[in-house]
Amino acid sequence: MAFSLKDFDFGTPTYSHHIKHPKVSLDDHLRSKGIENGQIVADRKSIYLDTRFWILLRDAHLGRATNPLATTLLKALRHVVSEKKAICPFAANIFVEVLKQNDDVTRLATATVIDELSECIALQPEEDRIATEIIHFIEYMRKDPNAVFPLNHLVWTSPSNVLGFSSLEHEAWSPHQMLAIQKAFTDATWKLGFVQIANESGPIPNHLTSQWEKNATTLNEMNRAHANTMRSFEQVYLDEFIGALELYKPTLSDILLYLFMNETGERPNTDDKETLKLAEGKLASLIQQAFQNNDLGPHLPTLHIRAALSASIRWNQGRKLTGNDLHDFGHAAAALPYHNIFATENSLCHLLTNELDLAERYNTKVVSTLSGLISTIEEI
């Protein structure tokens, strides 16, 4: 990133403010900044564009669009964003796919257009977003639902944190000073745009991006090995959800520990740890039972969408997963619960609107063509 500790001015107003307010934790400060972004998004129509559409917009921005509709789309989006009628946040999948571009000019141009239309607002990385969704589900069940922040206000971050949040620590700082530094550093990096990060980081090495295909190959082998166990789509769907939930059991444990410490202000003793371990199993069972009974409603959308898409591939035994499918699933899981409009490729659009009920369930308009997206934007 184009920002380092040596550039940090400990006399800045934000540091001076935070050193006087030590009761605000780093978690609370980060949460409040995310909620500010969430309120911006909630006041507009939110549009999620997959990588293909961002590339078309980039070419229009550079004046080399091969399809005149791309130029029309860019003009339409710039208008609704400048009028505060719409916004186009992005997610980690977009971030990674853009950084795969080896050409400096096109990579930075893509990031520039994303910064402009997203106003530097991004979704939390998927693992963090799932944790947010689980915490929200727990709080919703424990408290008066009217006292809980809407989920779609809680899942937003900045480009600097789109792959995960990290902070500063140094043994030379007192706890009081370190907390103020961490919050001030968060303020400073929060302002960074995607273009600054893309300029600093350069392209992602090919050996790192090839992992998607390796993951797809592994999943295909597992699907083939368990093909004879499939009895119905509903059963496969349930298996996929349970499997995804199993992967996030360590997250359940971390969440319960976080909630315990947040409420008690203390670390758990031996008896508390045993209680938390039992609570982890009960929470997993509660989520699974709610899913089986179709009682989850709008809760845990990322796990639900991932499970539905994975089940559809497994059930269609003639279809093999690709690395691109895994990216597409990430786009869908980011887009459907938190955006009004999702622009993606035709095959995924068909799957979400015709084969599965996901577009209707999340009340998201899914389009796959430039003309369809332009028409939808003109209605905003």
User: Domain boundary residue among 178, 208, 238?
Assistant: 208
pLDDT at 324: 81
- Name the pLDDT band for 7 (thresholds 50, 70, 90): very low
Q: What span, in angstroms and rounded, lies between the C-alpha atoms of 4 and 16?
A: 19
Q: Do the domain assignments include residue 359? A: no
Return the closest-CA partner of residue 142 out of 309, 295, 259.
Answer: 259
Report d(CA 307, CA 330) in Å as an integer.
Answer: 12
Same domain membership, residue 277 and residue 157: no
In eight-state DSSP terms, residue 86 is E
State which of 208, 235, 260 marks the end of a domain: 208
Poorest-pLDDT segment among 154-168, 208-222, 223-237, 341-355: 208-222
Whether the predicted pLDDT of 275 surpasses 70:
yes
pLDDT value of position 274: 84
pLDDT at site 114: 97
Of 170, 192, 208, the domain-final residue: 208
Q: Which residues pair with 87 in a beta bridge?
A: 46
Q: For residue 318, what pLDDT band results from cuts at 50, 70 and 90?
A: low
In a domain, 351, yes or no: no
Select the more confidently predicted residue: 219 or 352: 352
Residue 376 covered by a domain: no
The region, left, alpha or beta by phi > 0 then psi within -120 to 50, assigned to residue 72 is: alpha
Q: For residue 10, is it within any domain? A: yes
Mean pLDDT, range 217-244, rounded to an integer: 81
User: Do 187 and 216 share a domain, yes or no?
Assistant: no
Tokens 């080896």 locate to 102
Amino acid at position 357, single letter: D
Same domain, 202 and 237: no
Gap between the Cα atoms of 328 and 312, Å rounded? 13
Q: What percent of the chain is predicted at pLDDT more than 70?
A: 93
Same domain, 85 and 137: yes
Whole-number pLDDT of residue 206: 64
For residue 48, give its domain range: 5-208
**E-assigned strands of 91-163?**
122-123, 156-157
Candidates 253, 305, 241; CA nearest to 279 is: 253
Residue 46 lies in a domain: yes
Measured in residues, the chain has a length of: 380
Which of 64-78, 124-138, 246-260 comes out lowest in average pLDDT?
246-260
251 lies in the same domain as 125: no
In this prediction, residues 27-48 reach a mean pLDDT of 96
pLDDT of residue 366: 98
Whether 149 is covered by a domain: the verdict is yes
Cβ count within 10 A of residue 118? 21
Answer yes or no: are the C-beta atoms of 151 and 133 closer than 8 Å: yes
Tell whether 305 and 165 lie within a shared domain: no
Q: Are residues 57 and 183 in the same domain?
A: yes
355 within domain boundaries: no
Task: Answer yes or no: is pLDDT of 11 > 60.
Answer: no
Domain count, the chain: 2
**pLDDT confidence band for 212 (50 / 70 / 90):** low
For residues 140 and 299, what is the distance between their CA atoms, to the nearest angstrom?
A: 9
**Residue 297 and residue 247 share a domain:** yes
Position 205 scores a pLDDT of: 63
In this prediction, residues 78-99 reach a mean pLDDT of: 95
| Model confidence at 250: pLDDT above 60 | yes
Instruction: Check if the beta carbon of residue 41 is closer than 8 Å to that of residue 87.
Output: yes
Residues 72 and 169 in one domain: yes
More confident residue, 113 or 250: 113
Going from the C-alpha of 22 to that of each of 98, 177, 178, 179, 190, the distances in angstroms are 38, 9, 10, 7, 20
Average pLDDT over residues 189-207: 80
Please give the structure tokens belonging to residue 251. Answer: 């997250």
Q: Are 12 and 181 in contact (CB under 8 A)?
A: no
Six-digit token pair at 109? 């141009």
Kindly state whether residue 348 falls inside one of the protein's structural domains. Answer: no
Q: What share of the chain is helix, strand, coil (3-state, %, to 5)?
A: 65, 5, 30
Average pLDDT rounded to a whole number, residues 235-264 = 87
Residues 22 and 95 in one domain: yes
State yes or no: pLDDT of 208 exceeds 60. Answer: no
Q: Has residue 210 got a pLDDT over 90?
A: no
Specify whether 197 is located in the same domain as 257: no
pLDDT at 2: 43
Phi, psi of 231 (to 5 degrees): -110, -35
Q: What is the mean pLDDT of the chain?
A: 88
List the end-to-end C-alpha distance of the chain, in Å, as a whole number.
Answer: 35
* Other CB atoms within 10 A of residue 99 CB: 21
Please report the sign of the dihedral spanned by the C-alpha atoms of residue 293, residue 295, residue 298, residue 300.
negative
pLDDT higher than threshold 50 for residue 3: no
Do 233 and 199 have their domain in common?
Answer: no
